[in-house]
Amino acid sequence: QSALTQPASVSGSPGQSITISCTGTNNDIGTYRYVSWYQQYPGKAPKLMIYDVSIRPSGVSNRFSGSKSGNTASLTISGLQAEDEADYYCSSYTSTTSLDVFGTGTKVTVL
Amino acid sequence: QLQLQESGPGLVKPSETLSLTCDVSGASISDSSYYWGWVRQPPGKGLEWLGGVYYTGSTYYKPSLKSRVTISVDTSRDQFSLKLYSVTATDTAMYYCARHARTRLGGAIPKFDYWGQGILVTVSS
């Protein structure tokens, strides 16, 4: 089972901004800055989009940004584009040994 | 450019052992900054971290699978492997190998920066 909770779906029109939430606990997001976000297209491997809460790897568009407050992390996609339609997963370091570190996943739809 | 490539049978019979290998190229598997892990994704479902290995051979596993899984590393070949024993239909999934970070104290950080393309393994008779 997932330790982190995400909304099942989020949608927006081209050009709009959307935010995906990722809710954890004091054992993970609330304590550590090791929060990552992944983008996954159907049939493809996940791609790292954000790490350490808000850092973008080289080559990732600056339309993607991350933040956290308390036990909740967020991924914001600004200037939504058709190519952003994908599944998004969060993950966080946890002080537990469960390895249940991924979020439940959010399907982003561009209307 | 670092690349990972999974290989192994795509069909395994129930109660048998699932065996996969991940070949690492473009970088050394002996880089002390990283772990090498396995993540699976059942069809239509989310990601599940199974465990991983350090180049020294030190391993960590998901507790709920610990009795059925072995992950090992072969630094001479720059590859690491997954064995999952006594499989059932619920083990049917896309299996990915991936590199991820570690803390200075050896904690496994789920920052997976490089992934293999994945291999679909179906458990069926």
B71 and B38 in contact (C-beta within 8 Å)? yes
Helices assigned H by DSSP within B1-125: none
Test B63 with A91 for CB contact under 8 angstroms.
Answer: no
**Mind listing the pLDDT tens digit for each residue in B71-114?**
999 999 999 999 999 999 999 999 999 999 988 788 888 899 99
**Mind listing the pLDDT tens digit for each residue in A77-111?**
999 999 999 999 999 998 887 787 899 999 999 99
A interface test, pick of B40, B41, B47 with most A CB neighbours within 10 Å? B47
**Chain A touched by B62 (CB under 8 Å):** yes
Please count the other Cβ atoms lying within 10 Å of the Cβ belonging to residue B11. 11
- pLDDT in the model for residue A1: 61
Test B111 with A104 for CB contact under 8 angstroms.
Answer: no
Which 8-state DSSP code applies to residue B76? T
What's the first-to-final CA gap in chain B, in angstroms?
Answer: 39
B111 to chain A: closest CA residue: A36
Q: What tokens appear for B71 in the block?
A: 């992950």
**Chain A touched by B2 (CB under 8 Å):** no
Q: What percent of chain B has pLDDT over 90?
A: 92
Amino acid at A59: G
Test A101 with B61 for CB contact under 8 angstroms.
Answer: no
**Rounded Cα gap, residues A20 and A108, in angstroms:** 9
Query: Residue range A30-58: average pLDDT?
Result: 96
- pLDDT in the model for residue B103: 82
CA angle B125, B66, B56 (to 5 degrees): 115
**Chain A touched by B107 (CB under 8 Å):** yes
Q: What percent of chain A has pLDDT over 90?
A: 89
**Rounded Cα gap, residues A64 and A23, in angstroms:** 19
Q: What tokens appear for A69 in the block?
A: 């407050």
Nearest to B20 by CA among B121, B123, B125: B121
| Residues forming a β-bridge with B80 | B22, B73
